[in-house]
Amino acid sequence: MKKMKYKGIDLFCGIGGFRLAMEANNVQCVFSSDIDRFAQETYNANFNEIPKGDITKIDAESIPTFDILTAGFPCQPFSYAGLCQGFEDQTRGTLFFDICRIVSYHHPKMIFLENVKGLVSHKNGQTLNTILSNLKELGYYPYWTVLSSLDFGLPQKRERWYCVAFDKPIQYVFPKPLGGNPVLRDIVDVNDHSANLKLTKFEIDRIKFHFAHCSEQERVQHDNSKYAPNTKKGKYGVFSYQKPDGSLRFHVGDIAKTQIQEAFYACLDTYAPTIIAGRTPKLWDLERKLSVLEAKRLQGFPDDFIMPVSDNQAYKQLGNSVSVPIIKAIMKSMIAAYEQSK
């Protein structure tokens, strides 16, 4: 077996997307942490390790020495920059503070962070500036970008903020998009007709209603009499519209504009919307949602990745996870850049 060159820690580890990237890049994971007991169960089933719990209660000195810190940390509200004085005051009460606390004690060679795209504009950019300035105060040189999983082989438009930081000046460039046109047909088993995946009769009926009337009007108006008149659906109506890529969208609002997207149905020949904890992608042409196996593929997890939890928990865990291929690619480029700087 090839000797591990670097040691890493997996904070807010979830089910182990960063851990898979470590293993693919010859990095030995020496510590993991996540507060969710169901995520701990899945992590243990795949890596034979139960992650430690609440990171806010873990002393930095109890964590083994490591070279790379990874964290897909939750974005809790940050204090407005300038209203507080000092590094701790600006980040106290947020989980990012715990990352900084651990970095300050161990001072690893590299840091790899992931978060939602909205972090970039949160509080008019002040949150992002706080993160970057704190990394710089700790002696790091950060680089960040927003990348989509769709550009790295997955049929999912999942845009996320990625940040890598080094303990010395380094010339770093994020991986370039792979190209291609990944679609759901690449990962979906069209022969899976499991009853538990089937859309409700209400959903199927309104999808059929759309295609029965789409030749008459581009945005099909649906019967809103079933909704209470004081609700937005009852007041403004429900319309459906098929985009050029084949996806079918339902929205609340008048025919001239979309007010609120109420539902999104993909199809085999297009990509899925972002899978999140409370939303499993659905396909109008198969009249069903994705299976757990297909949801794993949508996030780039291997088929043999074990999900020892209920389907509802599995969907939630996959929705909260990182997209594995893009994490692998960034980690590979990060380590390569560090190696070249020696």
The CA distance from 53 to 36, in Å, is 8
The CA distance from 115 to 136, in Å, is 19
Please name every residue paired with 163 in a beta bridge, in sequence order, or none if there are none: 113, 144
25: DSSP letter: T
Cα angle 71, 158, 183; round to 5: 135
End-to-end C-alpha distance for the chain, whole angstroms: 25
- SS3 assignment, position 62: helix
Q: Catalytic residue, from 13, 75, 84, 214: name it.
A: 75
| 75 assigned to active site | yes
Cα dihedral 30/67/39/278 (nearest 10)? -170
The CA distance from 89 to 81, in Å, is 10
Beta strands in the chain (DSSP E): 6-11, 27-33, 68-71, 110-116, 141-148, 159-166, 220-222, 238-242, 248-252, 260-265, 282-283, 288-289
Give the amino acid at 94.
T
The pair phi, psi for residue 101, each rounded to 5°, is: -60, -40
Q: How buried is residue 101: exposed, middle or buried, by Cβ count under 10 Å (0-12/13-18/19+)?
A: middle
The CA distance from 5 to 26, in Å, is 7
Q: State which H helix or E strand residue 191 sits in.
A: none
Residues tagged active-site: 75
